[in-house]
Amino acid sequence: MFKEFESKPIKRLAHLVVESDVIKILNKESTSVLTSIEHGKVIEFKHYEPVKVGDYIVFLNQDDVYHCNAKVFAERNITDEKVINPVSNGILDYFSYTHLPLKLQKLVNLSVN
């Protein structure tokens, strides 16, 4: 039923979510707005899990902007840094991690070269 296909090499436009970003959940299904204080930009995007510092907002086109968690993004893209995910490494359970303030989430999401 399934046939194997090879992906085309592409470059993606993506924004790394930082502590100063403000995310507001909208009344539309699975939609939020990210305000980047650092870049002075506001963008609406889709997401299906909580957005955390270290995750990415990926821009394909005006109608296709979506959240990608740091682990999946690193698996699918060449990045300058590797993110150690405290949940997948068993340091914190998911509920505890997602209820930390963004400042603390950033502290436990360690970046290594």
Which DSSP string do the residues of 53-107 spell out, in sequence order? TT-EEEEEETTEEEEE-HHHHHHHS--SSEEE-TTTTTSS-HHHHHTS-HHHHHH
Share of the chain above pLDDT 70, in %: 70
The predicted model scores a pTM of: 0.65
pLDDT, tens digit, for every residue of 56-88? 999 999 899 999 999 999 888 887 755 555 555
pLDDT, tens digit, for every residue of 9-61? 888 899 999 989 999 999 888 899 999 888 888 999 999 999 999 999 999 99
As a whole number of angstroms, the distance between CA 13 and CA 63 comes to 14
Structure tokens at 112: 């290594």
Instruction: Please tell me the total number of residues recorded for the chain in this structure.
Output: 113
Q: Is-contact 78 25, C-beta < 8 A? A: no
User: Does the pLDDT of residue 96 top 70, yes or no?
Assistant: no
Task: Write down the mean pLDDT value for the chain.
Answer: 79
Q: Residue 7: pLDDT band by 50, 70, 90 thresholds?
A: confident
